[in-house]
Structures are given as structure tokens and as C-alpha cells.
A and B are shown apart, each in its own frame.
Chain A
Amino acid sequence: MVFAAAGVSLAAVGRYGLSRRLRLTAQSWSWAALYLFLAVALSGLANDLIKLLVGRARPLVEARGLHPFSSGYDYQSFPSGHAAVGFGLAFAATALWPRWRWPLLAFACAVAASRVVLDVHHLGDVIGSALVASLTIRGLTGLFARRRLVFRLDSEGVPRRHLAPVPRWRRITPA
């Protein structure tokens, strides 16, 4: 929701902003906000689909084995939704701000560890979430890069960030 609201606000500034430079920057970053929104949403959606297909029992449930297509909470352990969203956000933000990769990864690992410690997910569930999120973000980044939105493919076919620089406010010095 935060990224969707940011994207809509930036798109409005991109359309009605006062200067051309401000409009271009806002348009460029509104796509980045959409990218982050889709990263979280698609990681969660892919995760929910796999949950339904696998139907693994949660740690506190006595029953073992898989129960595909069961809609109840007790049989939606693999993969973890919280961990998938955490890893999805961390991987997408890392693609935009590579310098922050370790703090972002630590944040995602903390989210994942909390699910295991609370005994609502197995360890394998949160590792599976990291796999789902990494493949989802790779696909989303490639999709954006091929359309030259937010990223561009370099000569080796690797997506690189391509956003308008944020304007820096000039310091007002007394005359």
C-alpha cells in the first residue's frame, strides 16, 4: 500500500509538476515505486499459489504429510508468506540500492527466523520462500529491464538501475 500510494503520488507530480526536471524525476521514480509494489505483491501471490498446491502441515499440527488444495490455515505451511514478502522486498530493494544489500538481507532473515522461532513455520518453509522470492524478483526485474523501465540491460544482458537522478536542493547562502 505504501509503495502504491507513493507511485500514484509520484505519477501525479510527474504529470502536473512545476518544472520539467521535477516531472521527469517523478515519472522515473513512480515506476520504481510500482516495481517495489509488484515485487511485494507478486512474491506474496506466487507464495499463496504454492501454499495451496503443496498443503504442508504447520509445525504445531499433529498430522503429517501433504494435503494439497486444503484451504485451512493448518495446512498452508510451505512456503512462508511473511518470509516471501520480506525476501521479495529485500531482493527488489537490493536491485535498486545495491549498497544496502546486507542490511536488507539481514532484515529478511530476521523476518524469516521469527516465523521459525514462533513455531508457525518449518525451517524448510522459509528457505523455500527465499527461493520463490528470488525467482519472482528475477523475472520482474527482467521484465522491467526489457521495457527499459527502472532498469536497462547492459552489454552482458544484466539489468542495471536506470533512474533519473533526484534533484539536490541548493543551499541558500546569504548574499
Chain B
Amino acid sequence: MGTLGIPHCSDRMIGGSDWILLRFNEPRLLWASAILVAAVLLAVLLVDRPLAAALVGSIRGSIGLPSG
């Protein structure tokens, strides 16, 4: 058995299904996915709007429009 009780790829060779596209048999992939999901949530909740507003302000300023 692999991480979280999901079978390893090698289990397929002793009779598992061929049709499962994704097998989370690598702890590194799970960790990377968890970190990316957390980063997406943090960015959506905390960073995206202020960053977009700042960029819009700088773009408007660079072409001579008021930043508001």
C-alpha cells in the first residue's frame, strides 16, 4: 500500500485495474500538489486583488492616465 492507503503502481501488476489514469503513489507528488493547492488559495484570498490593483495603477500611470 502507498500513501493514504492508495495502492502502489506495482499492485497493478498483480491484478489491479489498467484504467486508473492517476495513481498517487509518490509522496513527493502529493506534497507538491498540496503545496500548490495551498499557494493557489493563499494567492486567491490574499494576493491577487491587491497585486492586480497595483499593476493596473502602474500601467495607467505609465500611459499617463490617473491611477484611480
Contacts and interface: CB of A to CB of B under 8 A. Distances in A.
A128 B29 contact: no
Contact of A123 (B32, B33, B47): B47
Given A135-B22, A139-B21, A153-B10, A119 B40 contact: no
B40 A128 contact: yes
A157 B43 CA distance: 34
Given A135-B33, A138-B29, 17 more contacts: A59-B48, A59-B52, A60-B52, A60-B56, A116-B55, A123-B47, A127-B40, A128-B40, A134-B36, A135-B22, A139-B21, A143-B21, A146-B9, A146-B18, A153-B9, A155-B10, A157-B8
Interface of A: 59-60, 116-117, 119, 122-124, 127-128, 130-131, 134-135, 138-139, 142-143, 146, 153, 155-158
Nearest to B21: A139
Contact of A116 (B39, B51, B56): B51
B2 to A, nearest CB: 8
Contacts of A124: 39-41, 43-44, 47-48
A138 B30 CA distance: 11
A120 to B, nearest CB: 10
Contact of B22 (A122, A142, A158): A142
A128 B47 CA distance: 14
B10 A127 contact: no
Interface residues of B, number: 27
A60 B48 CA distance: 12
Contacts of A127: 36, 39-40, 43
Contacts of B10: 153, 155-157
A109 B48 CA distance: 17
A122 B52 CA distance: 7
A156 B48 CA distance: 40
Contacts of B41: 124
A128 B18 CA distance: 28
Given A124-B44, A139-B21, A158-B26, A119 B52 contact: yes
Interface string B19-60: 001110110010011001101110110011001100110010
A142 B23 contact: yes
